Amino acid sequence: MSKRAEKAAEKQAAYDAVMAAKERPSTDKSLRRPRWVRYWWDKEKDCLVRRTWIGAVPRPGPDWHREGSIDELEARENAGQREMFE
């Protein structure tokens, strides 16, 4: 075996050892369901309120957004700013 092939085999063995030690993500179906988020400003508590709904298909309503989406970020920002104009 050449020096180059030995080095490649060592690297592959090290990579396999690292990958075997890593935890695999769960394949639980509950983790794959869509997470919906809704934000609004609560005047009584004077704070931003966040509600989540997991697994609703189709979309629960127009004011609900997928967690992590651009729409969700905009909704959170708009709900916080709405308080300033009321």
Domain that holds residue 13: 3-85
Q: Is 69 helix (H, G, I), strand (E, B) or coil?
A: coil
CA distances from 10 to 2, 19, 27, 47 (A): 12, 14, 31, 56
- Reported pTM: 0.52
pLDDT at residue 84, as a whole number:
62
When divided into structural domains, the chain yields a total of 1
pLDDT, tens digit, for every residue of 41-81? 888 888 889 998 888 777 778 888 888 888 888 888 888 77
Q: Is 36 helix (H, G, I), strand (E, B) or coil?
A: strand
